[in-house]
Amino acid sequence: MKKIIAGVDEVGRGSLIGPVYAAAVILNKKINKKIIKDSKKLSKIQRQDLAKYIKKNSIWALGSASIKEIENLNILNASLLSMGRAIKKLKLKPKKVLVDGNKSPDLKNYIIKTIVKGDEKIPEISAASIIAKVERDKLMKKMSLSFKKYHWDSNAGYGTKDHIKAIKKFGVTRFHRKTFQPIHKILSLKK
């Protein structure tokens, strides 16, 4: 019997808004692994097309951690929480879980291995990075409809010059992570 391997990656750690997302993916053995790359090395259209292909040809699950959890636990622990949630949601329990980075969720009864730059080396992790990114981008686009001035549909909530300028001009929203610099700094200046 073939070893069932799941790849796990998160997205949104450095964003100033919204939840952090993670995906866990077990690729179908017939999938073309050569076309799966790190999500950061793909265009938006390539990511969306590959996400559809991966979803159709794999077992996958999403996990997330809320803004409140990020602020209570810190971003690293919230990221690990979202990864753990994604792993537990998989319909098939993997024999081994490969996680991007050097920290992994602490899950009992799972064999977990961390791989630094795993999203560049391991197709299962690359696939997870693609799905997590595409799914979080969908949320950012939806959130942006009510907050057009912040351009979340194009900056995904990251601290771009335009986003920081918008925060200074229009204020901090309920979606901003208030413990994150520069949000914390902006709020401190207003006191």
111-165: pLDDT as tens digits: 999 999 999 999 999 999 999 999 999 999 999 999 999 999 999 999 999 999 9
Q: Are residues 20 and 80 in the same domain?
A: yes
Domain CATH code at residue 130: 3.30.420.10
Same domain for 54 and 109, yes or no, is yes
pLDDT digits (tens, 9 = 90+) for 48-83: 999 999 999 999 999 999 999 999 999 999 999 999
The dihedral of CA 65, 69, 71, 77: what is its sign? Answer: negative
Check whether residue 45 and residue 82 sit in a common domain: yes
Q: Both 167 and 84 in a single domain?
A: no
- Alpha-carbon distances, residue 5 vs 10, 29, 112, 122 (angstroms): 17, 11, 10, 11
Q: Within this chain, do residues 20 and 108 fall inside the same structural domain, yes or no?
A: yes
Give pLDDT, residue 188: 79
Q: What DSSP element (H or E) covers 8?
A: strand 5-11
Query: Is there a single domain that holds both residue 129 and residue 52?
Result: yes
Domains in the chain: how many in total?
A: 2
Domain check: are 122 and 84 in the same one?
A: yes
Q: Do 152 and 133 fall into the same domain?
A: no
Tell me: do 120 and 26 sit in the same domain: yes
What confidence tier does 8 reach under pLDDT thresholds 50, 70, 90?
very high
Same domain? 46 vs 127: yes
**What was the pLDDT predicted at 1?**
45
Same domain, 131 and 54: yes
pLDDT at 105: 97
| Whether residue 171 sits in one domain with residue 107 | no
Domain limits for position 156: 148-190
191 has pLDDT over 60: no
Residue 114 burial by Cβ neighbours in a 10 Å radius (0-12, 13-18, 19+) = middle
